[in-house]
Structure 1
């Protein structure tokens, strides 16, 4: 749900996924970023596009990764969140830093268990282990291990997915738009 630039670290998400065969066994990865129809003139974005394609090839992720262009239509965005939620997936926001974290709030509002950067706004939005999980984008191995742990636990105890989903919904419900108060 983002522009494909380095700070969003979406190529880092693909890399941590590619390096973890167990995570690939448990779930597929849907990445929503960039604009496939309009080649960017931005050098950083061009480099990230190349890196994304290279990582998919390097880790042989065809069939495991679906890369969709960023959506500008709010209804379509909501449908993507709901589809992932309906299939008992999760939302991962791996940015190196995120000032606020609108996509985190959107995902949690749809009931998606959310894993988001520990740097910036998402760290205040999510109560770690209750309404989602904090991840360190600089430690991809730990982030992928946390994802594996979550999805393995959900296989053994499907109510765990619901518990985190409900925790995220409750966190959003407690904080109305325009007066979102952050507390841990």
Structure 2
């Protein structure tokens, strides 16, 4: 008879321990966020000579409006030439929908949080997909281009499960100084999280 009660008790204990764990939807949002946070910075330190060389090697005319396809070719060529490095915190910060940081954006997007307060927790970095040709580092190397250190907060997801916002900080150096706090707004389209403008 003791065994019958032990199994349900263990099950309830496991559920309660995982209640503050990062959900599948949160990891999907975190993956989209990391991709978005790192994406634009690969083009920032490009010299005109390097741009001309890449364009010439790929038959792209820089005197005409660049198509998305040509922009992608140039971006991929830069990634292959350079070693982009970044750092990411292995913990995820807490989020509180009632804080001043979130309140105005939640109202703007008409988000009614599914959870008001989300506790800080450890991030399973094996579940985070990093962009191709970008390397996660503990400290910058001398031959790479360091893009910054990212600290993510728990995403606040609407009760409908269709809208979300995530707060993050991107610091210019590994020590966490000179940081730029930002938000990314998302909408779920065809079961995929997509950044909103």
Note whether the superposition's TM-score is higher than 0.5.
no
Structure in which a larger fraction of residues adopt helix: 1
Structure in which a larger fraction of residues adopt strand: 2
Question: TM-score under structure 1 normalisation?
Answer: 0.24
Between structure 1 and structure 2, the one with the greater Rg is 2
